[in-house]
Amino acid sequence: MAFKFDKKLEFKPGQFIMAWLPGVGEKPFSLADNDLIVVKRVGAFTSRLFELKEGDYLWIRGPYGNGFIPKGRNIALIAGGIGIPPLYALAKHYGGSFEEITLIYGARSKNEFAMLDVERYVDEVVLTTDDGSLGRKCFPTDVLNEMKDEFDQVYTCGPEVMMAKVLEIMNFENVQVSAERYMKCGIGVCGSCALGKYLVCKDGPVFEGKQLIETELGKFKRSPDGRILKI
């Protein structure tokens, strides 16, 4: 579901905000636009968000972090699941910097896409589903592997396993990754979002592919209490 604010923020595509609901908690969300976030219902916080009505308050901090850097002429946006928001923002706000934009967007099934109006800002859309219910029955990375020589820059956001595969296909070259880790503070104090030697909230969330060579991206993450969890 898309949530639109009544005020516009100054942001760079790829940056995120911390959203707070008193008595419920605080969570990070990538900005899809200067007044827009896209949310999937997955837990107590997002369930409470879905109960909000027009005119209700949502407290936010930010925008935080580093955004995408426009590079290349023929680019690919590789999105998985709810990873579309920052790539949508990139296409909308930086689209004039590129000659051609191809969106390769995958989800488990046809009901799990959050398309927004992305078709307005890209030249080609390739959809994939795990179950074959829409588009090609494959993964976005399968399509990238077929088309990789057509692109001089790749931007990606989605499940870590998918993004790790994107980096492998591109040999960590000419790739910008919007990473995700558990966050508490969002400003580089608590260390909860550590990714290798980096803090995602401060050094990211957007990283150049080469920065991630020696990190655990796609291998393991940490739970809120610091335990290592295999991805």
**CB burial class (10 A; 0-12, 13-18, 19+) of residue 114?**
buried
pLDDT the model gives residue 6: 93
Task: Give how far Cα 83 sits from Cα of 14, 145, 186, Å.
Answer: 11, 19, 19
Distance CA 108, CA 106 (A): 7
pLDDT in tens, 212-226: 998 999 888 888 877
Cβ atoms of 16 and 29 within 8 Å: the answer is: yes
pLDDT in tens, 106-150: 999 998 898 678 989 999 999 999 999 999 999 999 999 999 999
Task: Give how far Cα 211 sits from Cα of 139, 151, 170, Å.
Answer: 25, 20, 14
Q: Are strands 153-157 and 175-178 parallel, antiparallel or unpaired?
A: parallel
Q: Which of 129, 123, 157 is nearest to 143 (CA)?
A: 129
- Three-state secondary structure string covering 69-121: CCCCCEEEEEEEHHHHHHHHHHHHHHHHHCCEEEEEEEECCHHHCCCCCHHHC
pLDDT in tens, 16-31: 999 999 999 999 999 9
Cβ atoms of 158 and 80 within 8 Å: the answer is: yes
pLDDT the model gives residue 115: 67
Tokens of 12: 């760079």
pLDDT the model gives residue 109: 94
For the chain, percent of residues with pLDDT exceeding 70: 100
Domains (ranges, CATH) in the chain?
Answer: 2-64 (2.40.30.10)
Averaged pLDDT score across all residues of the chain: 94
Give φ, ψ of 2 to 5 degrees. Answer: -95, 135
**CB burial class (10 A; 0-12, 13-18, 19+) of residue 175?**
buried
Average pLDDT over residues 35-61: 93
Cα dihedral 1, 60, 52, 182, rounded to 10, equals: 60
* Paired strand residues for 3: 37
Amino acid symbol at 30: S
